Amino acid sequence: MLILNCSSKLRLLEGTLRRSLPDTLLVYGTVMTINRGNPAAQEVLVDSWPEFKVILTRPRREVALDDSDLYTNTYTVYYRDLGAYRALLTSAGAVNWGQSFRIFGLQDGVYEACKDFAEAKGIELEVLRHFTCLHPDPSSMPEIQLDPAMRLSSLDVSHADLLNEKWSFGGNEKSRKYLATLIRHFPSICLLDAAGHPVSWIASYPFGAMGPAYTLHEHRRRSYMVMLTNLLAKRLHALGYPSYGYVDVENYPMQRLQESQGFQRLPNLWYFILHNPVPGKAPTLTPRPAPGTAPALDSALRLSSLDISHADLLNETRPFLGTEQGWRYLANLICRFSSFFLLDA
């Protein structure tokens, strides 16, 4: 395991990763950010140099001080050889398994290797899968017309509480601090009403992706998110970043919005892998669910519809499946067709 600290090596790595886009999007965006001031205090690990088989980005030790802060403790990974990635997971000092953390990757093996290692050690992991969307040429996106009743601005750190309240992965103090960091250091755009309050916004991450994004319910159906996605994609493109992001597999309105803007869905899923060594001590990565509307049939049970988080369980218990392809098949059924199940207490 080698930590790349040399600026010339990091610039060379950036060019190497660019030639392997879009598979390298996450690590490429992180390396770009490191080479442009490194405001999130990230570092790069490789198994060897200059010919590497796996690359891992992570926060520097001086910022990864809180063992329960899964937002700051975020890794991105890209491998050329799955065996090298498996070896890196188990090597001393590469991944801090004593902390809560997130690992993001765009290759199926990123999750498979983590799962195998965790099962061997008796460690529990949580995984979420999202679609990855990339715009091939943001400069070709059409010009937009601003709503004269709204004012275009960048997010301010004073807006962090509002973002934290609305972010599906937020709602706690650690997520609020993380969002404040995004606002301070990375591109963002919002629409302010006449009173100067944000009604729609989109930020960006240390790995160069777009998001978090949200429009207040009372201001929806006015194409505000179309407007902001357009502007942020162009801004990131002007800074040299790919214009890309993730979308929940069940978020059909955002999927349609991205398609209408010319974003292309990549074949690879985006894996969010959460490790929490002390359950109950760190926030969960699972988005807060919308309140259910189905009545209970039994005082001890609750009727609901399957959601994408249940695909792992179905894949595990369904005959003839149990593979990643099986998971995708079941996830497609859950997303596109009606289903029911009973929840216990």
DSSP 291-338: PP-PPPSBTTBEEE---GGGHHHHHHHSTT--SHHHHHHHHHHHHHS-
Residues 175-195 pLDDT 10s:
999 999 999 999 999 999 999
At 111, list the tokens: 């999750």
Question: So what's the pLDDT on residue 292?
Answer: 40
Percentage of residues of the chain with pLDDT beyond 70: 88
Alpha-carbon span 254 to 248, nearest angstrom: 8
Q: Is 340 helix (H, G, I), strand (E, B) or coil?
A: coil
Q: What is the mean pLDDT of residues 259-265?
A: 93
- Which is it for strands 74-79 and 101-105: parallel, antiparallel or unpaired? parallel
Question: Ranked by mean pLDDT, which of 143-152, 164-173, 307-316 comes out on top?
Answer: 164-173
- pLDDT for 280 beyond 50: no
Q: What is the mean pLDDT of residues 11-40?
A: 97
Question: So what's the pLDDT on residue 148?
Answer: 86
In the block, tokens 């690990």 appear at 45
pLDDT category, 172, cuts 50, 70, 90? very high
Apex 90 CA angle, 86 and 93, nearest 5: 125
CB neighbours of residue 286 within 10 Å? 13
Alpha-carbon span 121 to 102, nearest angstrom: 18
pLDDT category, 281, cuts 50, 70, 90? very low
- Compare 276 and 55 and report the one with higher pLDDT: 55
Q: What is the mean pLDDT of residues 102-108?
A: 94
Q: What is the mean pLDDT of residues 293-309?
A: 62
Give counts: helices (H), strands (E), the chain: 10, 14
pLDDT category, 291, cuts 50, 70, 90? very low
Q: State yes or no: cis peptide before 267, omega within 30 of 0.
A: no
Question: So what's the pLDDT on residue 251?
Answer: 87
CB neighbours of residue 46 within 10 Å? 20
pLDDT category, 336, cuts 50, 70, 90? low
- Compare 283 and 113 and report the one with higher pLDDT: 113
Q: Which long-range contacts (CB under 8 A, 24 or more apart) does 212-215 make?
A: 212/163, 212/167, 212/169, 212/170, 212/179, 212/182, 213/254, 214/163, 214/166, 214/167
Question: So what's the pLDDT on residue 299?
Answer: 61
pLDDT category, 200, cuts 50, 70, 90? very high
Alpha-carbon span 36 to 48, nearest angstrom: 24
